[in-house]
Amino acid sequence: MELQPTACSEKSDATSGIAWWKRGLDLSLLLILLPGILVVGGLVALIVKLGSAGPVFFRQKRVGYQGKEFVCLKFRTMHLNADTASHQQHARELIKSKSPMVKLDQNRDPRVVPLGRLLRACGLDELPQLINVLEGEMSLVGPRPCIRYECEAYEPWHWKRFDAVPGLTGLWQVSGKNRTTFDEMVCLDIEYVRRQSLWLDLQIIARTLPALWQQCSDLQGASRSEAAPQIANTLESFSS
């Protein structure tokens, strides 16, 4: 069934922030997964530190629940003082177009540190956002928080996605993500706002690892496509 933006513009039923069951689920899973999180997080921090000069963490203001800003944490996967103008332009084009939401770093991006593409594809760069979850600024499941210049390009009905607390994973992330258009993403976010429940959160969490595996597979396929012309040129140079 094709998602229609007009069908998503009705008033949301969300009237509060994090429900008790959602907060309980977040804290319970954080406690259970804490040892693994510390080990994996330490390895990612080491990769970032060895890959480029600068701090391990990247802090950026994001727009969350009901349009309120908060400082979102990530592992830094770009070089210091990387230009943001290209991302701003790319974001605005995606919002206005009907094209799939292919990330700017899908192709070779000189701003990304070594192994940065892999960390981003696997979602490992977002592990520090578990601190945001612990502080109640985010949840494990919910719409992704956006940057201020992105929501400035939103249409009025797009703002309905802010009726839920932002999350690390969500209905959009496990429903195709980069294969969807921006409007389809917002429709999925608003659908989550209306349907959010403990059972739905558990379903989304269970579907997150397969979705991340698919992203890593897509990255591997893209890398092979990029490498093919280089290999062909090298073979041609040897034969000539």
By the 8 A CB rule, do 40 and 125 touch? no
Percent over 90 (pLDDT), the chain: 56
Place of tokens 């977040």: 26
Q: For position 45, what pLDDT does the model report?
A: 95
Query: What are the pLDDT digits (tens) for 116-150?
Result: 888 988 899 999 999 999 999 999 999 999 999 99
Q: Is the pLDDT of residue 163 over 70?
A: yes
pLDDT: is 214 or 83 the higher one? 214
Query: What are the pLDDT digits (tens) for 168-178?
Result: 999 999 998 77
CA dihedral 194, 195, 196, 197 (to 10 degrees): 140
Place of tokens 């890398």: 223
Using CA atoms, how far apart are residues 125 and 121, in angstroms rounded to an integer? 9
Query: What are the pLDDT digits (tens) for 6-31?
Result: 445 444 444 357 899 999 999 999 99
The pairs formed by 46-53 with CB atoms below 8 angstroms and a separation of 24 or more are: 47/115, 47/119, 48/75, 48/76, 48/77, 48/113, 48/119, 51/113, 51/114, 51/115, 51/116, 52/76, 52/79, 52/80, 52/113, 52/114, 53/80
Q: For position 8, what pLDDT does the model report?
A: 54
Q: For position 238, what pLDDT does the model report?
A: 39
- Determine which of 11-15, 18-22, 80-84, 190-194 has the lowest per-residue pLDDT on average: 11-15
Q: For position 62, what pLDDT does the model report?
A: 96
Using CA atoms, how far apart are residues 159 and 151, in angstroms rounded to an integer? 8
Mean pLDDT of the chain: 84
225 band by pLDDT with thresholds 50, 70 and 90: low
Angle at 158 between CA 70 and CA 150, to 5 degrees: 50
Q: For position 12, what pLDDT does the model report?
A: 42
Q: Is the pLDDT of residue 236 over 70?
A: no
228 band by pLDDT with thresholds 50, 70 and 90: very low
Q: Is the pLDDT of residue 49 over 60?
A: yes
Mean pLDDT confidence for 62-88: 89
Token code pair at residue 57: 């963490």
pLDDT: is 13 or 97 the higher one? 97
Mean pLDDT confidence for 215-227: 64
Q: Is the pLDDT of residue 209 over 80?
A: yes
107 band by pLDDT with thresholds 50, 70 and 90: low
